Structure 1
Amino acid sequence: MEILQVNKISTQEELESAFSIRKVVFVEEQHCPPELEWANEEESTHFLALMDGLPCGACRWRKTQMGYKLERFAVLKAYRGKRIGQALVAAVLDDLPGDASYIYLNAQLDAMSLYSKFGFETEGPQFEEAGIQHFKMVKRV
């Protein structure tokens, strides 16, 4: 039985593991420009998913002028299909402050069904970000 856990990042080592996962998924696999990938790190709260103790997924949230933005959900290819994305979304939503009334994200098309399971709804037109098609999704609370 595989053991999955998602932790709020508290050490530099954990943060480097999260950055490493994001580099593989976004920069190497999806060809996102590295300078876009590393923006807004300081004001973000980061999470690391571990499968049997090994880093396998990452994400973050940050407060913006509009509300709370969930970002950078990444799962290494070998671990996809194991509900890690769901565990990350659940952990982030659970961590948001109680006054988080406007929660949103920019979803890649193939991840939209994941976010919709948590009550996110599409808002506005499809758009391109870092060469990838997205929709803004907002969680109704």
Structure 2
Amino acid sequence: MADTEIRLAAWEADLALIRQVREAVFIHEQNVDPDIEWDQEEETAQHFLIVQGKEPLATARITTSGKIGRMAVVKKARGCGLGLQLLTFICNYAREHGFSSVYLHAQSHAEGFYRKAGFRSEGEPFIEADIPHIKMVRLLD
């Protein structure tokens, strides 16, 4: 999409933008319980945003343990490659900050997307937030 910017986000300063994307995708579309959407990792994680002008299109975070999570792209911006751009940006950030690998809990329907981005499945599928997931890991070179 034209005129988009991928950037680091600050939890407090960008909370409204992060919340806008995550509530639309996780709470409204996927019916995730709002009580489990927000957790103790929020303030210590590094958050990321893709914005077009002042409109947030995508967000994600990486925790201090190297877990990528809460990755969401608003419906109207899907299928344009923003998810892969965001994931690449996060992996580059992790590499620059000394991580040798990153991991995530992929929703099962998105496993193919993460495979294309260099992630490999690890372990057995499990349920998280009433949605089937699989742990995936990517080594950073």
Q: Same fold (TM over 0.5)?
A: yes
What residue identity is the alignment partner of 2:86?
L
Q: Determine whether 1:58 maps to 2:68.
A: no
Looking at structure 2, the residues matched to 119 and 74 of structure 1 have their Cα atoms a distance apart, in angstroms, of 18
**1:31-71 residue CA offsets vs partner (Å, 9 max, x unmatched):** 1111211011011100111135421111000112xxx1000
Counterpart position of 1:124: 123
The residue type paired with residue 99 of structure 1 is G
Equivalent position of 1:14 in the other structure = 14
Please name the residue that 1:28 is paired with: 28
Q: Work out the CA distance in 1 between the residues paired with 2:2 and 2:83.
A: 15
Deviation of the 1:4 alpha carbon = 2.2
Q: Decide whether the 8 Å contact of 1:7 with 1:49 is kept in 2.
A: yes
Percent identical pairs in the alignment equals 33
Deviation at 1:15? 2.5
Aligned 8 A contact 1:2 1:52 in 2: no
Which residue of the partner structure matches residue 79 of structure 2? 81
CA contact (8 A) 1:15 1:46 kept: no
Confirm or deny: 8 A CA contact 1:25 1:76 kept in the other structure.
Answer: yes
Instruction: Indicate how the Cα distance of structure 1 residues 83 and 53 shifts in structure 2: closer, same or farther if over 3 A, else same.
Output: farther
Which segments of 5 or more consecutive residues in structure 1 lack a partner in the other structure?
A: none
* Distance change (3 Å), C-alpha of 1:137 and 1:101: same
More deviation, 55-64/2-11 = 2-11
8 Å CA contact retained: 1:6, 1:88:
yes
How does the TM-score come out when normalised to structure 1?
0.89
Query: 8 Å contact 1:4–1:84 — kept in the other structure?
Result: no
Question: Partner residue of 1:46?
Answer: 47
Q: CA deviation at 1:12?
A: 3.6
Q: Which ranges in structure 2 are unaligned for 5 or more consecutive residues?
A: none
Letter in 2 for 1:15: L
Query: Partner residue of 1:137?
Result: 136
Q: Is the 8 A contact 2:103 2:136 kept in 1?
A: yes
